[in-house]
């Protein structure tokens, strides 16, 4: 497997069922984020992506959004030395115009500090929506045509792919937790030949054994890509 993409769903519901504050569910989810990085390193999976915060998530209460932004900020800064020590690259993927100004500079610093790390690339899809990504790519390509840099006949799948926010290979597996079976505006263009795997467990309840089983299931699949 080259690229594992994850929709880590169910943090709030896990917290509610365990009679905990919603933020504690997100904090427990962070521990599984760290576990997943170690799993990918151990299994030599070079790319992993997490659906961290969607553009639709901006509909949530300001208090919850601010707590999530603050938590992400603190976690990335705190773990920067570990990222560097373990040769992990961190990339933020999304509409940067929505990035909170209070820590946008720190996020860019983390990206720059880890940009030469090679063992694992972690893409955090933050302020991200696949339809917005495709619309933005369309605008970029239209501008290239308008400026005379390319012709309409030059536009192909590679042209679109190169204009997307994501720069990693398409995901081999898209894994979603919490029993919900939909993509929720996640990597729509890139998912053309991804294998979809859905787990009933909430993200905070996921263990390494769950990831191992998904990896084994993937290796058992014969992938023909239409041939």
Tens digit of each residue's pLDDT (9 = 90 or more) over 20-65: 887 788 888 999 999 999 999 999 999 999 999 999 989 888 888 8
Q: Is residue 146 part of a domain?
A: no
Q: Within a domain: residue 226? A: no
Q: At what angle do helices 104-114 and 62-85 cross, to 10 degrees?
A: 20
Q: Is residue 147 part of a domain?
A: no
* Rounded distance between C-alpha atoms, residue 36 and residue 8, angstroms: 11
* Catalytic-residue membership of 87: no
| Cα 221 to Cα 226: distance, rounded to the nearest angstrom | 14
- What digits encode the pLDDT tens for the residues 68-97? 888 889 999 999 999 999 999 999 999 999
The pLDDT of residue 226 is 66
Distance CA 1, CA 145 (A): 36
155 in any annotated domain: no
List pLDDT tens digits, range 179-213: 999 999 999 999 999 999 999 999 999 999 999 99
What is the pLDDT at residue 23? Answer: 76
Count: domains in the chain? 1
What span, in angstroms and rounded, lies between the C-alpha atoms of 167 and 177? Answer: 24
Query: In this predicted structure, what is the pLDDT of residue 38?
Result: 97
Mean pLDDT to the nearest integer, 133-162: 96
Which token pair is 62?
């300001």
Is the confidence at residue 227, as pLDDT, over 70? no
Catalytically annotated residue among 9, 32, 79, 172: 9
Q: Is residue 66 part of a domain?
A: yes
Is 38 inside a domain boundary?
Answer: yes
What pLDDT, on the 0 to 100 scale, is given for residue 24? 83
Sort strands 88-93 and 120-128 into parallel, antiparallel or unpaired.
parallel
Query: Which of 11, 18, 32, 57 is labelled catalytic?
Result: 57
Stretch 159-180: mean pLDDT, rounded? 96
CA dihedral 217, 126, 46, 137 (to 10 degrees): 100
By residue range, what is the domain housing residue 96? Answer: 3-129+170-219
Three-state secondary structure along 43-110? HCCCEEEEEEEEHHHHHCCHHHHHHHHHHHHHHHHHHHHHHHHCCEEEEEECCHHHCCCCCHHHHHHH
DSSP classification of residue 19: T
39 part of a folded domain:
yes
User: Which tokens sit at 64?
Assistant: 């919850």
Alpha-carbon distance of 1 to 10, in angstroms, equals: 25
Could you report the per-residue pLDDT of 102-126, keeping only the tens digit for each? Answer: 888 999 999 999 999 999 999 999 9
Q: What CATH number does the domain containing 13 carry?
A: 3.40.1180.10
- The first and second tokens of residue 141, run together, are 């390509």
Residue 11 Cα distances to 58, 89, 168, angstroms? 17, 25, 26
The answer to whether 106 is a known catalytic residue is no
pTM more than 0.85: yes
Helix/strand/coil percent split, the chain, to 5? 50, 15, 35
pLDDT at 27: 86
In a domain, residue 59? The reply is: yes
């Amino acid at each position: 497997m080259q690229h594992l993409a994850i929709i880590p769903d169910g943090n709030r519901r896990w917290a509610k069922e365990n009679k905990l504050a919603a933020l504690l569910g997100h904090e427990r989810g962070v521990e599984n984020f760290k576990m997943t990085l170690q799993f990918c390193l151990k299994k030599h999976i070079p790319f992993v992506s997490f659906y961290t915060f969607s553009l639709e998530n901006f509909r949530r209460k300001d208090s919850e959004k601010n707590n999530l932004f603050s938590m992400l900020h603190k976690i990335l800064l705190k773990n920067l030395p570990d990222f560097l020590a373990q040769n992990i690259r961190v990339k933020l993927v999304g509409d940067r115009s929505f990035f909170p100004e209070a820590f946008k500079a720190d996020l860019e610093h983390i990206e720059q500090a880890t940009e030469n790390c090679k063992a694992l690339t972690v893409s955090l899809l933050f302020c991200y929506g696949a339809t917005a990504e495709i619309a933005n790519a369309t605008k970029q390509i239209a501008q290239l045509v308008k400026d005379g840099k390319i012709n309409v006949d030059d536009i192909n799948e590679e042209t679109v792919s190169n204009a997307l926010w994501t720069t990693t290979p398409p995901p081999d597996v898209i894994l979603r937790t919490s029993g919900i079976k939909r993509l929720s505006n996640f990597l729509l263009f890139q998912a053309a030949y991804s294998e979809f795997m859905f787990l009933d467990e909430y993200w905070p309840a996921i263990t390494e054994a769950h990831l191992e089983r998904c990896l084994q299931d993937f290796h058992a699949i014969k992938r023909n890509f239409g041939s």
